[in-house]
Chains A and B, each alone.
Chain A
Amino acid sequence: MLWYKAWLETRARFLTLLATVTAVCGFFIYHAQGDMLPGWRLERDFDRLLLINQQILVFLWIFGVVLLGMGGIVREKAIGTSSLTLALPVSRARLVGIRVGLGIIEAIALGVVPWTAVFIVSSLAGMPILITQVGLYLLLLVGGGLVYFAAAVLVSSLVSGEYTAPCVAFGAILLPTILSDAYLPLCLNNRRLVTGSFSVDTITFLVSGHLPWLGILASLFAAVLLLWASILVVQWREF
Protein backbone atom coordinates (compact mmCIF):
# COMPACT_ATOMS: atom_id res chain seq x y z
CA MET A 1 0.00 0.00 0.00
CA LEU A 2 2.98 2.26 -0.41
CA TRP A 3 1.69 3.48 -3.76
CA TYR A 4 -1.55 4.41 -2.05
CA LYS A 5 0.35 6.29 0.62
CA ALA A 6 2.41 8.15 -1.97
CA TRP A 7 -0.78 8.99 -3.82
CA LEU A 8 -2.44 10.34 -0.67
CA GLU A 9 0.63 12.45 -0.06
CA THR A 10 0.79 13.99 -3.55
CA ARG A 11 -2.86 13.87 -4.52
CA ALA A 12 -3.78 17.44 -3.64
CA ARG A 13 -0.65 18.92 -5.18
CA PHE A 14 -0.99 16.84 -8.32
CA LEU A 15 -4.65 17.52 -9.00
CA THR A 16 -4.26 21.24 -8.38
CA LEU A 17 -1.27 21.44 -10.70
CA LEU A 18 -3.03 19.33 -13.31
CA ALA A 19 -6.12 21.51 -13.29
CA THR A 20 -4.11 24.72 -13.39
CA VAL A 21 -1.75 23.71 -16.18
CA THR A 22 -4.53 22.21 -18.27
CA ALA A 23 -6.64 25.32 -17.80
CA VAL A 24 -3.79 27.65 -18.75
CA CYS A 25 -2.86 25.71 -21.89
CA GLY A 26 -6.43 25.14 -22.93
CA PHE A 27 -7.25 28.78 -22.37
CA PHE A 28 -4.24 29.92 -24.32
CA ILE A 29 -5.10 27.83 -27.35
CA TYR A 30 -8.79 28.59 -27.14
CA HIS A 31 -8.04 32.25 -27.51
CA ALA A 32 -5.37 31.55 -30.08
CA GLN A 33 -7.04 33.33 -32.87
CA GLY A 34 -7.39 36.50 -30.91
CA ASP A 35 -3.76 36.34 -29.87
CA MET A 36 -2.37 36.13 -33.32
CA LEU A 37 0.14 38.80 -34.05
CA PRO A 38 -0.44 41.02 -37.06
CA GLY A 39 1.03 39.35 -40.07
CA TRP A 40 0.37 35.85 -38.86
CA ARG A 41 -1.91 33.75 -40.93
CA LEU A 42 -3.90 31.09 -39.14
CA GLU A 43 -3.00 27.91 -40.98
CA ARG A 44 0.71 28.38 -41.18
CA ASP A 45 1.24 30.15 -37.92
CA PHE A 46 -0.91 27.91 -35.80
CA ASP A 47 2.05 25.66 -35.32
CA ARG A 48 3.93 28.65 -34.02
CA LEU A 49 1.28 28.88 -31.33
CA LEU A 50 1.84 25.27 -30.47
CA LEU A 51 5.51 26.02 -29.99
CA ILE A 52 4.62 28.88 -27.69
CA ASN A 53 2.22 26.57 -25.89
CA GLN A 54 5.06 24.12 -25.34
CA GLN A 55 7.18 26.88 -23.88
CA ILE A 56 4.42 27.89 -21.51
CA LEU A 57 3.80 24.29 -20.63
CA VAL A 58 7.48 23.59 -20.02
CA PHE A 59 7.73 26.46 -17.62
CA LEU A 60 4.65 25.37 -15.68
CA TRP A 61 5.57 21.72 -15.95
CA ILE A 62 9.01 22.19 -14.47
CA PHE A 63 7.47 24.20 -11.66
CA GLY A 64 4.95 21.40 -11.16
CA VAL A 65 7.35 18.46 -11.16
CA VAL A 66 9.62 20.21 -8.69
CA LEU A 67 6.69 20.42 -6.33
CA LEU A 68 5.78 16.82 -7.05
CA GLY A 69 9.35 15.80 -6.29
CA MET A 70 9.09 17.17 -2.76
CA GLY A 71 8.33 15.00 0.22
CA GLY A 72 9.87 11.65 0.98
CA ILE A 73 11.40 10.19 4.11
CA VAL A 74 13.60 13.15 4.86
CA ARG A 75 10.55 15.39 4.92
CA GLU A 76 8.82 12.77 7.08
CA LYS A 77 11.62 13.10 9.58
CA ALA A 78 10.84 16.79 9.95
CA ILE A 79 7.14 16.00 10.38
CA GLY A 80 7.88 13.15 12.78
CA THR A 81 6.58 10.10 10.92
CA SER A 82 9.86 8.69 9.69
CA SER A 83 10.08 6.20 12.59
CA LEU A 84 6.83 4.68 11.41
CA THR A 85 7.79 4.46 7.75
CA LEU A 86 11.32 3.21 8.34
CA ALA A 87 10.14 0.57 10.81
CA LEU A 88 8.16 -1.05 8.00
CA PRO A 89 9.72 -4.21 6.53
CA VAL A 90 10.55 -2.31 3.34
CA SER A 91 13.97 -1.32 2.07
CA ARG A 92 14.77 2.37 1.80
CA ALA A 93 15.46 1.92 -1.90
CA ARG A 94 11.93 0.65 -2.37
CA LEU A 95 10.47 3.52 -0.39
CA VAL A 96 12.26 6.03 -2.61
CA GLY A 97 11.52 3.99 -5.72
CA ILE A 98 7.78 3.95 -5.20
CA ARG A 99 7.65 7.65 -4.47
CA VAL A 100 9.69 8.32 -7.59
CA GLY A 101 7.61 5.90 -9.65
CA LEU A 102 4.39 7.63 -8.76
CA GLY A 103 6.03 11.00 -9.32
CA ILE A 104 7.07 10.00 -12.83
CA ILE A 105 3.56 8.82 -13.62
CA GLU A 106 2.19 12.10 -12.32
CA ALA A 107 4.79 14.06 -14.30
CA ILE A 108 3.83 12.28 -17.48
CA ALA A 109 0.17 12.92 -16.78
CA LEU A 110 1.01 16.53 -16.14
CA GLY A 111 2.18 16.72 -19.74
CA VAL A 112 -0.30 14.40 -21.40
CA VAL A 113 -3.48 15.90 -20.00
CA PRO A 114 -2.79 19.55 -20.95
CA TRP A 115 -1.66 18.53 -24.44
CA THR A 116 -4.75 16.38 -24.79
CA ALA A 117 -6.87 19.36 -23.81
CA VAL A 118 -5.06 21.46 -26.40
CA PHE A 119 -5.64 18.76 -28.99
CA ILE A 120 -9.33 18.52 -28.18
CA VAL A 121 -9.86 22.28 -28.12
CA SER A 122 -7.96 22.75 -31.35
CA SER A 123 -9.73 19.91 -33.11
CA LEU A 124 -13.12 21.15 -32.03
CA ALA A 125 -12.24 24.59 -33.32
CA GLY A 126 -11.13 23.10 -36.56
CA MET A 127 -7.49 24.04 -36.14
CA PRO A 128 -4.92 22.10 -38.11
CA ILE A 129 -3.38 20.21 -35.25
CA LEU A 130 -1.65 16.96 -35.90
CA ILE A 131 -1.56 14.32 -33.22
CA THR A 132 1.97 13.44 -34.18
CA GLN A 133 3.00 16.97 -33.23
CA VAL A 134 1.43 16.51 -29.83
CA GLY A 135 3.24 13.21 -29.43
CA LEU A 136 6.59 14.69 -30.37
CA TYR A 137 6.20 17.64 -28.05
CA LEU A 138 5.32 15.24 -25.24
CA LEU A 139 8.36 13.14 -25.95
CA LEU A 140 10.58 16.18 -25.76
CA LEU A 141 8.89 17.35 -22.58
CA VAL A 142 9.14 14.11 -20.68
CA GLY A 143 12.36 12.82 -22.18
CA GLY A 144 14.20 16.05 -21.61
CA GLY A 145 12.30 17.19 -18.55
CA LEU A 146 12.47 14.26 -16.16
CA VAL A 147 15.92 15.39 -15.20
CA TYR A 148 14.30 18.37 -13.45
CA PHE A 149 12.06 16.03 -11.51
CA ALA A 150 15.05 13.92 -10.55
CA ALA A 151 16.93 17.02 -9.39
CA ALA A 152 13.97 17.92 -7.19
CA VAL A 153 13.92 14.41 -5.71
CA LEU A 154 17.63 14.63 -4.92
CA VAL A 155 17.19 18.01 -3.27
CA SER A 156 14.29 16.68 -1.19
CA SER A 157 16.51 13.87 0.10
CA LEU A 158 19.09 16.41 1.24
CA VAL A 159 16.95 19.28 2.50
CA SER A 160 14.02 18.75 4.78
CA GLY A 161 12.32 22.11 5.23
CA GLU A 162 8.84 22.47 3.83
CA TYR A 163 9.68 25.73 2.06
CA THR A 164 13.46 25.59 1.91
CA ALA A 165 13.44 22.36 -0.08
CA PRO A 166 11.45 23.67 -3.05
CA CYS A 167 13.38 26.93 -3.00
CA VAL A 168 16.68 25.09 -3.10
CA ALA A 169 15.28 22.86 -5.84
CA PHE A 170 14.23 25.81 -7.97
CA GLY A 171 17.59 27.38 -7.37
CA ALA A 172 19.35 24.15 -8.26
CA ILE A 173 17.51 24.11 -11.55
CA LEU A 174 17.65 27.81 -12.30
CA LEU A 175 21.36 28.20 -11.77
CA PRO A 176 22.53 25.59 -14.27
CA THR A 177 19.89 26.83 -16.70
CA ILE A 178 21.19 30.39 -16.54
CA LEU A 179 24.78 29.22 -16.70
CA SER A 180 24.15 26.91 -19.63
CA ASP A 181 22.30 29.65 -21.45
CA ALA A 182 25.24 31.95 -20.92
CA TYR A 183 28.24 29.70 -21.25
CA LEU A 184 27.50 26.34 -22.77
CA PRO A 185 27.24 25.78 -26.48
CA LEU A 186 23.67 25.80 -27.67
CA CYS A 187 23.57 22.11 -28.39
CA LEU A 188 24.05 21.23 -24.70
CA ASN A 189 21.20 23.40 -23.53
CA ASN A 190 18.54 21.16 -22.04
CA ARG A 191 15.95 23.86 -21.75
CA ARG A 192 16.06 24.50 -25.45
CA LEU A 193 15.78 20.81 -26.02
CA VAL A 194 12.68 20.52 -23.93
CA THR A 195 10.93 23.51 -25.42
CA GLY A 196 11.53 22.16 -28.86
CA SER A 197 13.87 24.87 -30.11
CA PHE A 198 16.16 22.27 -31.66
CA SER A 199 13.48 20.28 -33.35
CA VAL A 200 11.24 22.85 -34.89
CA ASP A 201 11.54 23.71 -38.52
CA THR A 202 12.11 27.44 -38.80
CA ILE A 203 9.75 27.84 -41.68
CA THR A 204 6.91 25.46 -40.99
CA PHE A 205 7.24 25.48 -37.21
CA LEU A 206 6.51 21.82 -37.22
CA VAL A 207 8.39 19.52 -35.01
CA SER A 208 10.34 17.25 -37.25
CA GLY A 209 10.70 13.55 -36.71
CA HIS A 210 14.43 14.02 -36.31
CA LEU A 211 14.37 14.51 -32.62
CA PRO A 212 17.61 15.18 -30.76
CA TRP A 213 17.70 11.59 -29.53
CA LEU A 214 21.18 11.89 -28.16
CA GLY A 215 20.16 14.87 -26.12
CA ILE A 216 17.06 13.13 -24.84
CA LEU A 217 19.04 10.07 -23.87
CA ALA A 218 21.67 12.17 -22.16
CA SER A 219 18.94 13.96 -20.26
CA LEU A 220 17.29 10.73 -19.21
CA PHE A 221 20.64 9.30 -18.21
CA ALA A 222 21.28 12.36 -16.06
CA ALA A 223 17.84 11.83 -14.51
CA VAL A 224 18.69 8.23 -13.69
CA LEU A 225 21.97 9.27 -12.09
CA LEU A 226 20.27 11.89 -9.95
CA LEU A 227 17.63 9.42 -8.83
CA TRP A 228 20.23 6.82 -8.04
CA ALA A 229 22.10 9.44 -6.02
CA SER A 230 18.87 10.17 -4.13
CA ILE A 231 18.58 6.52 -3.17
CA LEU A 232 22.17 6.46 -2.00
CA VAL A 233 21.65 9.59 0.08
CA VAL A 234 18.56 8.14 1.74
CA GLN A 235 20.33 4.87 2.42
CA TRP A 236 23.24 6.66 3.97
CA ARG A 237 21.28 9.11 6.11
CA GLU A 238 20.34 8.48 9.71
CA PHE A 239 16.89 8.98 11.06
Chain B
Amino acid sequence: MLYLNSTTVYRQMSFRLTPTAGQPLYLQLMQQIRHAAETGALQDGDQLPGIRTLAEELVVSPNTVVKAYSELEHEGLLELRPGSGAFVCVKRRTQSLASHVQVARRRMRDIIDQLREDGLLDEEIRRAFEAELICSVEIVGKR
Protein backbone atom coordinates (compact mmCIF):
# COMPACT_ATOMS: atom_id res chain seq x y z
CA MET B 1 0.00 0.00 0.00
CA LEU B 2 1.45 3.30 -1.05
CA TYR B 3 0.35 6.52 0.48
CA LEU B 4 0.58 9.22 -2.15
CA ASN B 5 -0.88 11.83 0.07
CA SER B 6 -3.00 11.69 3.14
CA THR B 7 -6.29 11.06 1.36
CA THR B 8 -5.59 8.86 -1.67
CA VAL B 9 -4.47 5.31 -1.36
CA TYR B 10 -3.04 3.35 -4.30
CA ARG B 11 -4.65 -0.02 -3.97
CA GLN B 12 -2.89 -3.20 -4.95
CA MET B 13 -5.69 -5.03 -6.63
CA SER B 14 -5.63 -8.51 -7.99
CA PHE B 15 -7.88 -9.20 -10.93
CA ARG B 16 -8.15 -12.39 -12.87
CA LEU B 17 -9.39 -12.33 -16.44
CA THR B 18 -10.41 -15.51 -18.22
CA PRO B 19 -10.08 -15.31 -22.01
CA THR B 20 -12.15 -18.45 -22.55
CA ALA B 21 -15.11 -17.59 -20.35
CA GLY B 22 -17.26 -16.42 -23.24
CA GLN B 23 -17.34 -12.86 -22.01
CA PRO B 24 -15.34 -9.90 -23.31
CA LEU B 25 -12.34 -9.25 -21.08
CA TYR B 26 -13.23 -5.63 -20.50
CA LEU B 27 -16.63 -6.68 -19.13
CA GLN B 28 -14.94 -9.13 -16.78
CA LEU B 29 -12.62 -6.40 -15.56
CA MET B 30 -15.51 -4.01 -15.10
CA GLN B 31 -17.41 -6.60 -13.08
CA GLN B 32 -14.43 -7.29 -10.90
CA ILE B 33 -13.84 -3.61 -10.24
CA ARG B 34 -17.52 -3.13 -9.45
CA HIS B 35 -17.44 -6.14 -7.19
CA ALA B 36 -14.43 -4.74 -5.39
CA ALA B 37 -16.27 -1.46 -4.90
CA GLU B 38 -19.40 -3.25 -3.68
CA THR B 39 -17.59 -5.41 -1.19
CA GLY B 40 -15.49 -2.55 0.09
CA ALA B 41 -12.15 -3.75 -1.24
CA LEU B 42 -12.13 -0.48 -3.12
CA GLN B 43 -13.32 2.58 -1.31
CA ASP B 44 -14.21 6.06 -2.30
CA GLY B 45 -11.06 7.91 -3.29
CA ASP B 46 -8.85 4.89 -3.86
CA GLN B 47 -6.64 4.99 -6.93
CA LEU B 48 -6.54 2.18 -9.45
CA PRO B 49 -3.38 1.32 -11.39
CA GLY B 50 -2.74 3.24 -14.59
CA ILE B 51 -3.76 1.71 -17.92
CA ARG B 52 -0.26 0.61 -18.90
CA THR B 53 0.58 -0.72 -15.46
CA LEU B 54 -2.57 -2.77 -15.15
CA ALA B 55 -2.33 -4.05 -18.73
CA GLU B 56 1.25 -5.18 -18.20
CA GLU B 57 0.40 -6.78 -14.88
CA LEU B 58 -2.55 -8.71 -16.25
CA VAL B 59 -0.76 -9.31 -19.58
CA VAL B 60 -3.79 -8.10 -21.48
CA SER B 61 -4.26 -5.55 -24.22
CA PRO B 62 -4.26 -1.95 -22.98
CA ASN B 63 -7.45 -1.43 -24.97
CA THR B 64 -9.21 -3.80 -22.57
CA VAL B 65 -8.25 -1.64 -19.63
CA VAL B 66 -9.10 1.53 -21.53
CA LYS B 67 -12.58 0.24 -22.38
CA ALA B 68 -13.24 -0.95 -18.85
CA TYR B 69 -12.10 2.28 -17.26
CA SER B 70 -13.99 4.49 -19.68
CA GLU B 71 -17.23 2.49 -19.31
CA LEU B 72 -16.92 2.69 -15.56
CA GLU B 73 -16.28 6.39 -15.81
CA HIS B 74 -19.45 6.62 -17.87
CA GLU B 75 -21.30 4.78 -15.13
CA GLY B 76 -19.86 7.08 -12.55
CA LEU B 77 -17.85 4.55 -10.61
CA LEU B 78 -14.47 5.84 -11.73
CA GLU B 79 -13.10 9.28 -12.23
CA LEU B 80 -10.30 9.52 -14.77
CA ARG B 81 -7.98 12.39 -14.07
CA PRO B 82 -5.51 12.93 -16.93
CA GLY B 83 -1.99 12.63 -15.64
CA SER B 84 -3.03 11.26 -12.25
CA GLY B 85 -4.93 8.09 -12.95
CA ALA B 86 -8.26 6.43 -12.20
CA PHE B 87 -9.97 7.15 -8.92
CA VAL B 88 -12.88 5.32 -7.38
CA CYS B 89 -16.07 7.22 -6.59
CA VAL B 90 -18.37 5.09 -4.56
CA LYS B 91 -21.58 7.02 -4.25
CA ARG B 92 -24.41 6.28 -1.95
CA ARG B 93 -26.42 4.86 -4.82
CA THR B 94 -23.70 2.33 -5.48
CA GLN B 95 -23.60 1.44 -1.85
CA SER B 96 -27.28 0.70 -1.80
CA LEU B 97 -26.87 -1.27 -5.01
CA ALA B 98 -24.20 -3.22 -3.20
CA SER B 99 -26.66 -4.33 -0.60
CA HIS B 100 -29.15 -5.32 -3.34
CA VAL B 101 -26.46 -7.44 -4.87
CA GLN B 102 -25.63 -8.98 -1.54
CA VAL B 103 -29.25 -9.95 -1.00
CA ALA B 104 -29.43 -11.39 -4.50
CA ARG B 105 -26.29 -13.37 -3.95
CA ARG B 106 -27.61 -14.85 -0.74
CA ARG B 107 -30.70 -15.93 -2.64
CA MET B 108 -28.61 -17.49 -5.35
CA ARG B 109 -26.53 -19.32 -2.80
CA ASP B 110 -29.69 -20.86 -1.39
CA ILE B 111 -30.85 -21.93 -4.86
CA ILE B 112 -27.48 -23.40 -5.71
CA ASP B 113 -27.33 -25.31 -2.43
CA GLN B 114 -30.75 -26.76 -3.21
CA LEU B 115 -29.82 -27.75 -6.75
CA ARG B 116 -26.71 -29.44 -5.42
CA GLU B 117 -28.81 -31.35 -2.94
CA ASP B 118 -31.03 -32.41 -5.84
CA GLY B 119 -27.97 -34.02 -7.33
CA LEU B 120 -26.92 -31.54 -10.02
CA LEU B 121 -23.23 -31.02 -10.67
CA ASP B 122 -21.79 -27.48 -10.61
CA GLU B 123 -21.06 -27.58 -14.34
CA GLU B 124 -24.66 -28.58 -15.07
CA ILE B 125 -25.95 -25.79 -12.84
CA ARG B 126 -23.75 -23.27 -14.64
CA ARG B 127 -24.89 -24.36 -18.09
CA ALA B 128 -28.52 -24.34 -17.03
CA PHE B 129 -28.17 -20.78 -15.74
CA GLU B 130 -26.52 -19.69 -18.99
CA ALA B 131 -29.27 -21.27 -21.07
CA GLU B 132 -31.98 -19.72 -18.95
CA LEU B 133 -30.33 -16.31 -19.08
CA ILE B 134 -30.21 -16.41 -22.85
CA CYS B 135 -33.81 -17.57 -23.00
CA SER B 136 -34.97 -14.88 -20.64
CA VAL B 137 -33.08 -12.23 -22.61
CA GLU B 138 -35.04 -13.29 -25.65
CA ILE B 139 -38.30 -13.19 -23.72
CA VAL B 140 -37.49 -9.82 -22.23
CA GLY B 141 -36.65 -8.58 -25.71
CA LYS B 142 -40.06 -9.61 -26.95
CA ARG B 143 -41.90 -7.68 -24.27
Direct contact of A and B (CB under 8 A): no
Q: Which residues of B contact A (CB under 8 A)?
A: none
